[in-house]
């Protein structure tokens, strides 16, 4: 279990028109009475549910794309397979006129030297850190804003567990903020850990066994969608293993 097997969705080769991911909270109620009274109680923060919508097959690329699709499908083999999906979240970070370009930059080492073959680190421009350790199950975390317009109402991920933040509860110092998050922390995030904010990733499973069905029509290109559900059971297993 420790060496978790998953595959990354190749978002460059198989780009989706939209990647909606939405929270599914657990709420229980006794229903609405004739008098209009309905009392709702939340029994859990919930989990993510989403999809890759309108995956674009292009004429020039379709052969590579089709082969990649088959490879992914063979790897996943139904709902048991684990998939990591990048969820573009630059909309949540953009703040014109200053924060508009989120194209990743290239960075050298600390002493300004590149790698042996003259390549550099490829990295997003935003930078948000976890200020203090976020224990398993935490629903309020302390974030350190280093280079980003805000830490409120954004998404971040750490080791493929995706979260989104609410309105700030409290500002601590100049650049540290306590914010509530959805969902509860799936796996402990150590202090000073860098968080992925402009393209957070989420570990999921297919929503049903036949989500990867595809049909190539005679004249057009297919535009399939894939339904996904967060693989929450994996986090339970990992937590149990660590305990």
The residues of the shown chain that bind another protein, judged by CB under 8 A, are 26, 28, 39, 41-47, 79, 135-140, 169, 180, 183-184, 186, 208-209, 230, 232-233, 235-237, 239-240, 243
Structure tokens at 4: 């978790």
- Buried b vs exposed e over 174-183: b needs ≥16 C-beta within 10 Å? eebbbbbbbb
Nearer to another protein by Cβ, of 108 and 137: the residue is: 137
Structure tokens at 104: 């990743």
Q: Which of 81, 98, 67, 80 is nearest to 6 (CA)?
A: 81
Nearer to another protein by Cβ, of 94 and 184: the residue is: 184
Tell me the closest approach of the beta carbon of residue 36 to another protein, in angstroms. Answer: 15
DSSP bridge partners of 8: 84
Tell me the closest approach of the beta carbon of residue 240 to another protein, in angstroms. Answer: 6
Kindly report the three-state secondary structure assignment for every residue of the chain. Answer: CCCCCCEECCCCCCCEEECCEEEEEEEEECCCCCCCCCCEEEEEEEEEEEEEEEECCCCCCHHHHHHHHHHHHHHHCCCCCCEEEECCCHHHHCECCCECCCCCEEECCCCCCCCCCCCCEEECCCEEEECCCECCCCCEEEEEEEECCCCCCCEEEECCEEEEECCCCEEECCCEEEEEEECCCCCCECCCCEEECCCCEEEEEECCCCCCCCCCCCCCCCCCCEEEEECHHHHHHHHHHHC
Tell me the closest approach of the beta carbon of residue 182 to another protein, in angstroms. Answer: 9
Tell me the closest approach of the beta carbon of residue 84 to another protein, in angstroms. Answer: 17
Nearer to another protein by Cβ, of 65 and 205: the residue is: 205
Tell me the closest approach of the beta carbon of residue 216 to another protein, in angstroms. Answer: 24
Tell me the closest approach of the beta carbon of residue 117 to another protein, in angstroms. Answer: 41
Structure tokens at 100: 């508009």
Nearer to another protein by Cβ, of 139 and 225: the residue is: 139
Tell me the closest approach of the beta carbon of residue 211 to another protein, in angstroms. Answer: 11
Nearer to another protein by Cβ, of 45 and 127: the residue is: 45
């Amino acid at each position: 279990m420790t060496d978790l097997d998953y595959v990354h969705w190749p978002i460059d080769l198989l780009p989706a028109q939209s990647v909606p991911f939405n929270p599914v909270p657990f709420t229980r109620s006794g229903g609405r009475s004739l008098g209009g009274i309905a009392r709702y109680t939340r029994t859990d923060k919930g989990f993510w549910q989403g999809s890759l919508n309108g995956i674009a097959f292009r004429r020039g690329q379709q052969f590579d794309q089709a082969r990649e699709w088959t490879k992914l499908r063979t790897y996943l083999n139904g709902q048991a397979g684990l998939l990591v999906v990048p969820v573009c979240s630059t909309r949540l970070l953009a703040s014109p006129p200053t924060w508009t370009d989120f194209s990743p930059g290239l960075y050298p080492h600390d002493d300004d030297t590149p790698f042996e073959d003259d390549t550099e680190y490829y990295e997003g421009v935003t930078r948000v850190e976890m200020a203090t350790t976020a224990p398993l199950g935490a629903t309020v975390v302390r974030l350190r804003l280093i280079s980003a317009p805000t830490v409120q109402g954004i998404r971040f991920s750490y080791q493929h567990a995706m979260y989104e933040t609410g309105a700030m509860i409290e500002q601590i110092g100049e650049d540290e903020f306590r914010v509530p998050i959805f969902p509860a922390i799936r796996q402990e995030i150590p202090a000073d850990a860098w968080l992925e904010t402009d393209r957070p990733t989420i570990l999921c499973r297919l929503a049903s066994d036949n989500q990867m069905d595809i049909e190539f029509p005679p004249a057009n290109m297919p535009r399939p969608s894939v339904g996904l559900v967060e693989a929450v059971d994996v986090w339970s297993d990992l937590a149990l293993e660590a305990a």
